[in-house]
Amino acid sequence: MQTIKLNNGISMPQLGFGVFQVPDPAECERVVTEALELGYRSLDTAAAYLNEEAVGRTIRNSGLPREELFITTKLWIQDAGEASARQAFERSLKRLDLDYLDLYLIHQPFGDYYGAWRAMEALNQEGQVRAIGVSNFYPDRLLDLIQHNQIVPAVNQVEVHPFFQRREDQAFMRQQGVQIESWGPFAEGRNNLFSDPNLTRIAQAHGKTVAQVVLRWLLQRDVVVIPKSVRHERLAENLNVFDFELTPAEMDTIAAMDTGKSLFFDHRDAEAVRRLGQVRLNI
Ligand SMILES: NC(=O)c1ccc[n+]([C@@H]2O[C@H](COP(=O)([O-])OP(=O)(O)OC[C@H]3O[C@@H](n4cnc5c(N)ncnc54)[C@H](OP(=O)(O)O)[C@@H]3O)[C@@H](O)[C@H]2O)c1
């Protein structure tokens, strides 16, 4: 698996498997088992996905050596704060049945995430998590966090897909040494992504699918990707993206699809802040 080196020297697979919206434990175990059998080694979960236990059981049952895996989970807003973030980390680790984590992310830039970051810096220094990072941070919040703390986030996981490409944000992150990671690489199928005429034409030229073209485009932009699917054939398809290359002209065609706007919600929008801030996990 192709890897990317993070700012603290550790390697992260550039393609992994995200398990958002797979809350049923049996379904989650089935799909993660299939993903590991197919060769995925990086798994992206979160306390808020309510499937850390199922992911942990599957890892344990897979028999794979721990050091072959790269496991990410995320801290939810209600647990922001120095003491509560440490407790939340310990609960996540226990649910995942792991001794250490590879990457721990602040899921949303809300609440006392500065306190959370201090706890995460300590966890990183203690060796309980190999890298720490954030998610859904726009450049202003990212820079503020960097300026007033010790450790620069290794990763910022943000919405990136052909309709919202984040090229300027990526350039900014690169300057700061922060690796961009895409969530929603297919925009969860919105805007008819899978039947888009430009993407379809490029896919046909390579004998590939639209999904594969989108992942390839992200990989060539040095973005880490974690596509989600619950279907075996799509899991295999999404992994099979290392044997072709998009031309500069094809990269330009996709670049022209950018609308510069989120297809989900803007984390700087007051209504989104209110709505997400009210989500309480019962775990
Ligand atoms: N940090 C955050 O705030 C945040 C937010 C959202 C997501 N994430 C992470 O990012 C991961 C990926 O994002 P996402 O799940 O939101 O969306 P996504 O990967 O863009 O899209 C998933 C959708 O695409 C379909 N799909 C997958 N592969 C396909 C293929 N080869 N052909 C056709 N359809 C395909 C899936 O359907 P089937 O499952 O039916 O195949 C599913 O409906 C998540 O699982 C999660 O780990 C993070």
Q: Is residue 212 part of a domain?
A: yes
Active-site annotation holds for 100: no
Q: Is residue 121 part of a domain?
A: yes
| pTM of the shown model | 0.98
Which of 40, 107, 186, 208 has most ligand 1 atoms within 8 Å of CB, for mutation?
186
Q: Is residue 282 part of a domain?
A: no
Residue 20 beta carbon below 6 angstroms from any ligand 1 atom? yes
| Successive 10-residue mean pLDDT values, the chain, 283 residues | 96 98 94 98 97 97 97 97 98 98 98 98 98 98 98 98 98 98 98 98 98 98 98 98 98 98 95 95 87
Residue 75 beta carbon below 6 angstroms from any ligand 1 atom? no
**What does the pLDDT read at residue 23?**
85
Is there a binding annotation on residue 107? yes
Separation of CA 223 and ligand 1 centre (Å): 16
Q: Is residue 184 part of a domain?
A: yes
Residue 231 beta carbon below 6 angstroms from any ligand 1 atom? yes
* CA–CA–CA angle 179, 63, 237 (5° rounding): 55
**What does the pLDDT read at residue 6?**
98
Q: What is the largest CA-CA distance in the chain?
A: 54
Residue 133 beta carbon below 6 angstroms from any ligand 1 atom? no
The Cα 7–Cα 12 span in angstroms is 11
Q: What distances in angstroms separate CA 36 from CA 59, 113, 162, 236, one per listed residue? A: 9, 32, 27, 11
Domain containing 237: what range?
Answer: 3-277
Q: Is residue 105 part of a domain?
A: yes
Residue 189 beta carbon below 6 angstroms from any ligand 1 atom? yes
The tally of domains found in the chain comes to 1
**What does the pLDDT read at residue 173?**
98
- What DSSP character marks residue 128? S
**What does the pLDDT read at residue 283?**
82
**What does the pLDDT read at residue 282?**
86
CATH number (domain holding residue 110): 3.20.20.100
Closest-lying ligand 1 atom to the alpha carbon of residue 194: 33
Q: Is residue 283 part of a domain?
A: no
Separation of CA 21 and ligand 1 centre (Å): 8
CA-only gyration radius of the chain, Å = 18
Q: Is residue 22 part of a domain?
A: yes
**What does the pLDDT read at residue 1?**
83
